[in-house]
Amino acid sequence: MRWIGVIAAVVLWGCAESPLEELPMPEERTVRIASDLLGGTEGEPGKEYTFTAVAPSRPAWFRLEWDFGDGSPRQVLIGTLQVRHQFVEAGTYTVVARLLDQATGALWALGTVVVNIRPTPPPPPMVTLPAGRFLMGSTRDIAEQPVHEVELTHAFLVLQTEVTQELWTAVMGYNPSWFRGAQLPVENITWWEAVEFCNRLSLRHGLQPCYTRRGDTVFWDHTANGYRLPTEAEWEYACRAGTVTDTYAGDLRQPWGACEEEEPELERIAWYCRNSDDRTHPVGQKQPNRAGLFDMLGNVAEWVWDWFDPQAYQRHEPKDPSGPLSGVRRVVRGGAWSMGSSALRSAARLSASPWHHSPAVGFRIVRTP
C-alpha cells in the first residue's frame, strides 16, 4: 500500500490533544507536592525520595494520606507533611496527597503529581559541529528564497541519528510509533512531545532544561545547556555539512521528482518513497554526511524549533536566526520514507501544526555545551 498521498497531505495539518485533567479545586484547597526527584518528576527505581505536601492552609489537627499509585499501602501521617517513599519498579505513577481535618474526617485539600520512574539511559552519541557560516535556502521554491548567508556563532552538538524508539521509550516510558523496532526512529509524536522529551532527558543527564511551558506557549532559555530541538538554521547547517548541492551527496536529476524517478544520489543516503518499501528503517544504515550524521534526509522528517513562515528568509537575522516569534505551524525538515525527491533536499521546508503526529515525522536533538 502506498502512503505517499496520505502522509504528504497530513503533514500540513494536525489534530488537537485532550490531556486528562483532575477536577479543579480552589487554590486555597490545593496541595502542591514537592520532592527531591529531578525536576520534581524524574526518578529511578530502587531509590528513596522525599515528598512534602505544601498547602496554603491546613486544619489545626490534620492527617495526610499519601497514595503513590504503585500498589503499595497508603501511608497515613498525623501532624506531619513529609514522607519518604521508594518505587520498586519502573513506571509512570500518579502520587496523590489528601489533607484531611482529623477532627471531622473531611477532605481539606488535595494534590497530585505524575512521576516518571525508570533507569537513566546513557548519553546518546553526538557530533560536535563548529561555529561557522553557510548559504541557507535555494532557488527551487519561493519559501526557500532568498539564498542568504547565515552565521552560527556557537558550536553545538547534534545527535548522530534520529531519536530511536529505544531511547524514547527509556525516557518517556511508552512508544507511540506506528512501525515498531528498538532501532527504528520514533515517530507519530507531536512537537509538544518532542519538547517534553528534551527536558526529561536533560534532567536525567544533569543538564539544565531548555524549555518552560505556560499553556500553549513554550519559552526557550538560550543559556541552558540541555537537549533541545535544532533551529531551522542549525538543522540545515548540520544537513549540508559544507555542501551547496540539492543533497549532501550531490544534485538531484529530478529535484521535483516523485517516486518513479531513479535518484542515485538519494539511494545512497536516504530512505524515501522509491526504496523504503512504505516504512521506516533502522537508523544509521545509509551513508552519513561529511559531519558523520545519518538520515538527515529521509526515513522520518524532523521537527525543528522554528515557527513556519514562507517569507521568513526575507526577514532572517544574519546571526543565529530562530524564526518568527509566533505562528500556526512548526517547521519540519528532511523529508520522509513516504515522500519524493522534492521533499528530500537540504533546503526543502515542510510544516505542520505542533499538535500533528504521523508515521512520517520524528525528530533529532541538539544541545549547546
Angle at 323 between CA 242 and CA 215, to 5 degrees: 135
Looking only at the bridges linking them, the beta strands covering 349-352 and 330-333 are: antiparallel
25 has a pLDDT exceeding 90: no
Pair 105, 139 in one domain: no
Looking at the chain, the whole-number percentage of residues with pLDDT higher than 70 is 92
269: confidence class by pLDDT, cuts 50, 70, 90: very high
14: confidence class by pLDDT, cuts 50, 70, 90: very low
What's the pLDDT at 15? 33
Burial, 175: exposed, middle or buried (Cβ in 10 Å; 0-12, 13-18, 19+)? Answer: middle
22 has a pLDDT exceeding 70: no
What's the pLDDT at 85? 97
What's the pLDDT at 99? 95
Q: What distance in Å separates the CA atoms of residue 74 and residue 220, rounded to the nearest whole number?
A: 39
Residue 307 belongs to some domain of the structure: yes
Pair 195, 341 in one domain: yes
- Residue 288, Cβ neighbours under 10 Å: how many? 17
Instruction: Kindly report whether the global pTM for this prediction surpasses the value 0.85.
Output: yes
Q: How many structural domains are present in the chain?
A: 2
**Residue 341: helix, strand or coil by DSSP?**
helix
Pair 196, 317 in one domain: yes
Q: What is the pLDDT of residues 164-184, one digit of tens each?
A: 999 999 999 999 999 999 999
Residue 219 has φ and ψ, to the nearest 5°, of -105, 135
Which is nearest to 81 in space by CA: 50, 116, 113? 50
Pair 177, 88 in one domain: no
Q: CATH number of the domain that 69 lies in?
A: 2.60.40.10
Helix (H) or strand (E) holding 8: helix 4-10
Contacts of 344 (CB under 8 A, 6+ apart): 247, 266, 270, 272, 297, 298, 334, 335
Q: What distance in Å separates the CA atoms of residue 173 and residue 361, rounded to the nearest whole number?
A: 19
Q: What is the pLDDT of residues 182-236, one digit of tens each?
A: 999 999 999 999 999 999 999 999 999 999 999 999 999 999 999 999 999 999 9
Residue 21 belongs to some domain of the structure: no
Q: What distance in Å separates the CA atoms of residue 350 and residue 82, rounded to the nearest whole number?
A: 50
Pair 104, 212 in one domain: no
Pair 158, 204 in one domain: yes
Q: Do 10 and 358 meet the contact criterion of CB atoms below 8 Å apart?
A: yes
Taking residues 40-45, what's their average pLDDT?
A: 97
The last residue of a domain, from among 100, 117, 134: 117
Q: What is the pLDDT of residues 82-99, one digit of tens each?
A: 999 999 999 999 999 999
Pair 86, 135 in one domain: no
Taking residues 335-363, what's their average pLDDT?
A: 97
Strands in 6-60 per DSSP E: 32-35, 42-43, 48-54
Residue 5 belongs to some domain of the structure: no
Contacts of 148 (CB under 8 A, 6+ apart): 135, 136, 137, 313, 316, 318
Taking residues 110-118, what's their average pLDDT?
A: 97
132-171 b/e with 16+ CB inside 10 Å = b? Answer: eebebbbebbebbbeeeebebeeebbbbbbbbbbbbbbbb
What's the pLDDT at 322? 97
Residue 101 belongs to some domain of the structure: yes
The last residue of a domain, from among 70, 100, 117: 117
Q: What is the pLDDT of residues 118-159, one digit of tens each?
A: 999 999 999 999 999 999 999 999 999 999 999 999 999 999
Residue 10 belongs to some domain of the structure: no
Pair 205, 100 in one domain: no
Pair 330, 302 in one domain: yes
Nine-digit cell at 356? Answer: 500533528
Nine-digit cell at 261? Answer: 524517478
In DSSP terms, which residues pair with 154 in a beta bridge? none
Q: CATH number of the domain that 134 lies in?
A: 3.90.1580.10
Q: What is the pLDDT of residues 298-328, one digit of tens each?
A: 999 999 999 999 999 999 999 999 999 999 9
Mean pLDDT of the chain: 92
Residue 7 belongs to some domain of the structure: no
23 has a pLDDT exceeding 80: no
Q: Do 194 and 187 meet the contact criterion of CB atoms below 8 Å apart?
A: no
256 has a pLDDT exceeding 60: yes
Pair 213, 260 in one domain: yes
What's the pLDDT at 98? 96
Looking at the chain, the whole-number percentage of residues with pLDDT higher than 90 is 86
26: confidence class by pLDDT, cuts 50, 70, 90: low
Residue 3 belongs to some domain of the structure: no
The last residue of a domain, from among 117, 147, 168: 117
76 has a pLDDT exceeding 80: yes
Name the residue range of residue 74's domain.
29-117
Residue 179 belongs to some domain of the structure: yes
Pair 203, 327 in one domain: yes
Q: Angle of helix 191-204 relative to helix 165-172, nearest 10 degrees?
A: 70
Pair 176, 325 in one domain: yes
